[in-house]
Amino acid sequence: MDQISDGIVKALQLIFSGDPTVYGIVSRSLLFSGIATILAVLWATPIAMLLSLKNFPGKSIVKGFFTAMIGMPTVALGLFLWLTLSKTGPLGFLGLLYTPGAIILGEALLVTPLIVSIATNAIEAIDPEMMNLARTLGASESQALTAVLKEAINGIIFSNVAGFNRAIAELGVALMVGGNLAGFTDVLTTDISTFNARADFASAIALAIILLLIVFGINIMIIIARNPRVLVTLGRMGQ
Amino acid sequence: MTALAELKNLTKCFGSRKALNDVTLQIEEGEILGLLGPNGSGKTTLLKVLAFLERVDAGEVKFQGETVTERNSERMRLQSTMVFQKTLFLGTTVFNNVAYGLKMRKMPRSVIEEEVGNALKLVRLESFKKRSARKLSGGEQQRVALARALVLKTRLLLLDEPTTNLDPKNTSIIEEIITKVNRELKTTIVMATHNMFQAKALPKRVALINDGKITEVGLSSDVFTKLSRNLAAFAAVENTFNGFSRITDAGTSIVDVGGGVQIEATFQKQGEISIFISPQDIILSEKQLKSSARNMLKGRIAEITDLDSLVRLKIDVGKPFTVQITKCSFNEMGLNLNSEVFLTFKASSVHTI
């Protein structure tokens, strides 16, 4: 109990003291996971659209593959990427290993199946005749697709948020291909692990609390942005 | 009359099933063409082909003399629009839904405001602009869907069962609008229905479709006078029966339609015959009625369908009969599935096909 309360006190101190080391760790976490999520969304969204709107041979196998890959152990993916990006690996020439680029690539690959699966379900939930409705009202193919995506927007945003949550909370990939180099590739999760290994529990708990605050904070901001009436409800509850 | 659209030897398959089988049909400019057939007969597929939403596997589609291809179908779609049987809405207001097609056509905002207002006035929903389209009643939704199509003023308007599951009030409003639009704007309309009364009343011409094939086309007065057994074969047409008629000494006819059901009619016909009785002509009661009506059948309620202010009932008297009563009456009579009821109707309500 003392350790937890020490951790909470230390977390508050670190947040409000403006400690540059802590802010550096937080910034790197947000940056790497943010870019990874954006990358994943860029290639996952067209895949989700294809899986939900088109029929092709082997479609169910592809869908099953992405669903299965949601459970990919991060350390296994990290190991596979390490082997690929190492000097003797097929992509060693890129010089990505132990750089932020490797973490970003790894996390993007990690969250892609999750984004694909959730986004596919969201688009499939829209009535399949919606495309035809848009077309018969004069929409072009791309306009009709946009109409469908707009209808599925809540589910698509949820897929993106779920992807970001997974990316920022994962440890295995960041550790294996990032190397946890202080001030360069260390992020919240790798530093929590490091402090824990050193028995510096207060620091580990502090960073864990900060990580939780970030995840909750971002998710709450997105909920409010999608539905501002939540603020009114919260306001009434507070009165 | 010039042909607005022509379908020549059309075949459309979904997997191994032929939804349309060698269909040839001309849609004349300015007409209302009824497409009558049971569920699964190919009506919706035919409408989608005319809406340029479905590619055909064989045959040719022409619109205003031009063959429709994949290249020009997007341009052609600006000239026709379809109202689907199942009303679908974008998750936004009535205004935005009705305005959608105009926005796709890049109309100025002021024009959109005016045209949407006019379209909603036509369907008698002027005050509904800001309401959520998905939260309207069934009848209101169908009217908004119609407004969304009418606002585009396309050459060809395709309606897929526009009044199915609507109460008489909304049905009447929609039928009025269809007639008005055809008369005043000269819009060519193709309307799919399995309601024989509607197919008889609204369109000038009727095409009968069954199993993906057009079995008859002609003036609706001719098609319905012709004692067409094709009509009676349509499973979805309510209260239609095939049977054997014999003339009685009293100068009426008794028609044996099977299932132990015999129906008395005022006409005099001997031999094989097809008849129908309008659901609106049938009185439903809990007890036997003493009246001048010649037909009284006892049966049980087999199916109940809620239609807002009305309730549609399927009664098994040995043969299935469809009856419509108000929800008030349904509740007051305390009816339920398997309730025993009596159907009463006059001999003059029995019509030959």
Give B-chain residues touching A132 at CB under 8 angstroms.
48, 53, 82, 84
How do the pLDDT tens digits run along chain A, 239 residues long? 677 787 778 877 877 887 888 889 999 999 999 999 999 999 999 999 999 998 899 999 999 999 999 999 999 999 999 999 999 999 999 999 999 999 999 999 999 999 999 999 999 999 989 999 999 999 999 999 999 999 999 999 999 999 999 999 999 999 999 999 999 999 999 999 999 999 888 888 888 988 999 999 888 888 887 777 766 676 676 66
pLDDT at residue B237, rounded to an integer: 59
Interface test with B, best of A126, A127, A129, A133 (most B CBs within 10 A): A133
pLDDT at residue B236, rounded to an integer: 46
pLDDT at residue A84, rounded to an integer: 96
Give A-chain residues touching B104 at CB under 8 angstroms.
134, 137-140, 143
pLDDT at residue B232, rounded to an integer: 55
Distance from CA of B101 to the nearest CA of A (A): 5
Q: Cβ contact (<8 Å) for A137 and B152?
A: yes
Closest Cβ–Cβ partner in B48, B84, B91 for A151: B91
In Å, how far from its chain's centre is CA B330?
Answer: 25
Closest Cβ–Cβ partner in A127, A136, A143 for B81: A136
User: What mean pLDDT do residues B284-309 have?
Assistant: 89
Strands in B122-203 per DSSP E = 156-160, 188-193
Tally Cβ neighbours within 10 Å of residue A200: 13
CA neighbor of B153 nearest in space, from B96, B79, B92, B205: B79
Q: Which CA distances in Å does A68 have to A64, A73, A135?
A: 6, 11, 35
pLDDT at residue A7, rounded to an integer: 76
Q: Cβ contact (<8 Å) for B90 and A151?
A: yes
User: What mean pLDDT do residues B161-188 have?
Assistant: 88
What digits encode the pLDDT tens for the residues A65-96?
999 999 999 999 999 999 999 999 999 999 99
Q: Which residue of B has its CA nearest to A147?
A: B90
pLDDT at residue A69, rounded to an integer: 94
Q: Which residue of B has its CA nearest to A128?
A: B88
Using CA atoms, how far apart are residues B77 and A85, in angstroms rounded to an integer? 51
Q: Which residue of A has its CA nearest to B79?
A: A138
DSSP letter at B238 equals T
Q: Cβ contact (<8 Å) for A139 and B48?
A: no
Q: Cβ contact (<8 Å) for B74 and A150?
A: no
Q: Cβ contact (<8 Å) for B86 and A130?
A: no
pLDDT tops 60 at residue B74: yes
Closest Cβ–Cβ partner in B53, B78, B88 for A138: B78
Q: How would you list the strands of the sheet with B58-63, edge to edge?
A: B17-28, B3-14, B58-63, B66-67
pLDDT at residue B15, rounded to an integer: 86
pLDDT at residue A239, rounded to an integer: 63
Give B-chain residues touching A141 at CB under 8 angstroms.
74
Distance from CA of B136 to the nearest CA of A (A): 18
Q: Which of A218-222, B88-92, B143-147, B269-273 has the lowest mean pLDDT?
A: A218-222
Q: Cβ contact (<8 Å) for B84 and A147?
A: no
Angle between helices B109-122 and B138-150 (to 10 degrees): 130
Q: Check residue A183 and give left, alpha or beta (phi > 0: left; psi -120 to 50: alpha).
A: left
pLDDT at residue B233, rounded to an integer: 55
What digits encode the pLDDT tens for the residues B105-137?
999 999 999 999 999 999 999 999 999 999 999
Give A-chain residues touching B90 at CB under 8 angstroms.
147, 150-151
pLDDT at residue B227, rounded to an integer: 45
Q: Which residue of A has its CA nearest to B145?
A: A133
pLDDT at residue B178, rounded to an integer: 93
What SS3 state is found at B147?
A: helix
pLDDT at residue B197, rounded to an integer: 67
What digits encode the pLDDT tens for the residues B210-223?
889 998 899 887 77
Residues of B with CB under 8 A from a CB of A: 48, 51, 53, 74, 77-78, 80-82, 84, 86, 88, 90-91, 100-101, 104-105, 148-149, 152
Q: Which residue of A has its CA nearest to B51?
A: A136
Q: Cβ contact (<8 Å) for A138 and B77?
A: yes
Residues of A with CB under 8 A from a CB of B: 127, 129-130, 132-141, 143, 147, 150-151
pLDDT band (50, 70, 90) for residue B235: very low
pLDDT at residue A199, rounded to an integer: 87
User: What mean pLDDT do residues B195-210 have?
Assistant: 81
Closest Cβ–Cβ partner in A129, A130, A137 for B81: A137
Number of A to B CB contacts under 8 A, please give it. 46
CA neighbor of B154 nearest in space, from B62, B76, B70, B236: B76
Give A-chain residues touching B53 at CB under 8 angstroms.
132, 135-136
Using CA atoms, how far apart are residues B212 and B209, in angstroms rounded to an integer? 6
Tally Cβ neighbours within 10 Å of residue B40: 15
